[in-house]
């Protein structure tokens, strides 16, 4: 007998943010803790990630048959991170990369090899060792997962492309500057989604070069809805404003902004602003759906989407500034000159400081923030997993 799918499908959205994504792992650990004693199924039928959030999303999806174990594995990696596991941070590696970058982009030399400020080949090796992509197919086949998706930005097409793997009945989509493409996820898709422009090199997938998916992802929540989610948990990495920013929103400065300050705002506009804007759009559409008669909602294709957001209760820039001493010595001159080693420019540092002290504090903050919302969070974890039988996965 064929079971009908549950009317409620819970989706999880993990936004981008480099090292800030350690916060997401703390939240996921808290979720596993809240589910302790219950059957350890994956509470999220749809998992969507971008950039570093894509790495967490795929890590979770690969272990969706054992959710608690998957969160423990993610936590073990993040709490023991060192920058050298993500990008070259030794003197020879840093100097050679800077030299190639200068030759290529200032003098037009050094060939056609994609270059960036940092060499992230160590990240490729780490992901190859830690991830078993076959776990995604197994989870879909055994109905522990409906779909997992990651978004990358196509430099030639100008499209935000969401690569997804899931049930065969999930249809691709085409919207203005954003499309959904069914595929078997693999390492190149993940590296492409996490390739922060100018910082990490673009990655070639199916003939096109891709970069960080947050670059032009105007509707970060959209992929989860296309993949069938009816309610969504968003784990953001924006962080609250500092006390000084709250008390005096028109702060004046004696000196012009540093490169690090400017870069921090540019990264924030890519990773954070689009998600917050999309959340506002969803809230307005929910209000509209509540005001319209049911018949009109059906005709217009409008439905209310329940959204719960968990985001840092403390400013992550301030936390990063406290751990700037953990930055490898070879990188300090290149961060010091643009001002990233000062508190005012710590936003850039908060994205690139893959060191244990900083990551562990972000994980602890994520744990605390999630448990503070347990009364709202627990209903999101009571997900029906009765998907249709007899359907092939992609």
Question: Could you give the angle at which helices 22-34 and 356-372 cross, rounded to 10 degrees?
Answer: 40
* Contacts with 195 (C-beta within 8 Å, 6 or more apart), sequence order: 116, 120, 152, 201, 202, 203, 210, 211, 212
Q: Give catalytic status of residue 51 as yes or no.
A: yes
The partner residues of 203 in beta bridges, in order of sequence, read 210
Between β-strands 173-175 and 160-166, what pairing exists: parallel, antiparallel or unpaired?
unpaired
- Residue 176's alpha-carbon distances to 45, 69, 148, 219, 221, in angstroms, are 26, 39, 22, 10, 15
77 vs 247: CA distance, rounded Å: 38
What the block records as the tokens of 158 is 């100008």
Q: Radius of gyration of the chain from Cα atoms? A: 21
Q: For residues 165 and 57, what is the distance between their CA atoms, to the nearest angstrom?
A: 12
Could you give the CA distance from residue 44 to residue 191 in angstroms, rounded to a whole number? 23
The 3-class SS string of 52-84 reads HHHHHHHHHHHCHHHHHHHHHHHHHHHHCCCHH
> Catalytic: which of 119, 212, 278, 369?
212
- Asked if 46 and 229 touch (Cβ cutoff 8 Å), the reply is yes
Query: Biggest alpha carbon distance in the chain?
Result: 73
List the catalytic residues: 51, 212
């Amino acid at each position: 007998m064929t079971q009908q799918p549950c009317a409620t499908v819970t989706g999880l959205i993990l936004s981008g943010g480099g090292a800030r994504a350690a916060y997401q792992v703390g939240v996921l650990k808290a979720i596993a803790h809240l589910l302790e004693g219950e059957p350890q199924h994956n509470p999220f039928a749809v998992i969507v990630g971008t950039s570093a959030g894509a790495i967490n999303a795929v890590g979770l999806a690969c272990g969706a048959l054992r959710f608690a174990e998957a969160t423990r594995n993610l936590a073990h990696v993040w709490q023991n991170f060192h920058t050298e596991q993500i990008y070259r941070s030794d003197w020879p590696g840093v100097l050679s990369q800077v030299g190639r970058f200068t030759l290529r982009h200032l003098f037009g030399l050094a060939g056609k090899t994609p270059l960036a400020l940092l060499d992230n080949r160590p990240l490729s090796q780490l992901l190859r060792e830690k991830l078993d992509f076959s776990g995604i197919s197994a989870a879909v086949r055994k109905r522990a997962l409906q779909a997992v998706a990651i978004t990358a930005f196509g430099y030639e097409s100008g499209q935000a492309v969401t690569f997804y793997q899931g049930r065969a009945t999930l249809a691709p989509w085409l919207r203005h500057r954003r499309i959904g493409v069914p595929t078997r996820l693999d390492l190149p898709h993940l590296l492409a989604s996490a390739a922060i422009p100018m910082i990490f090199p673009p990655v070639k997938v199916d003939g096109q070069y891709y970069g960080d998916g947050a670059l032009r992802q105007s509707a970060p929540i959209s992929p989860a809805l296309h993949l069938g989610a009816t309610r969504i948990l968003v784990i953001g990495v924006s962080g609250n404003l500092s006390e000084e920013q709250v008390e005096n929103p028109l702060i004046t400065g004696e000196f012009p902004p540093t490169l690090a300050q400017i870069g921090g705002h540019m990264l924030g506009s890519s990773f954070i602003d689009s998600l917050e804007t999309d959340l506002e759009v969803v809230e307005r559409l929910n209000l509209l759906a509540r005001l319209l008669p049911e018949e009109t909602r059906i005709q217009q294709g409008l439905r209310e989407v329940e959204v719960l957001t968990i985001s840092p209760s403390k400013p992550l820039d301030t936390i990063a500034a406290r751990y700037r001493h953990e930055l490898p010595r070879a990188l300090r001159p290149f961060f010091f000159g643009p001002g990233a080693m000062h508190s005012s420019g710590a936003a850039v540092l908060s994205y690139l400081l893959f060191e244990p002290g900083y990551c562990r504090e972000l994980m602890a903050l994520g744990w605390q923030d999630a448990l503070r919302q347990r009364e709202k969070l627990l209903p999101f974890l009571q997900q029906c997993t009765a998907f249709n039988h007899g359907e092939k996965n992609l």
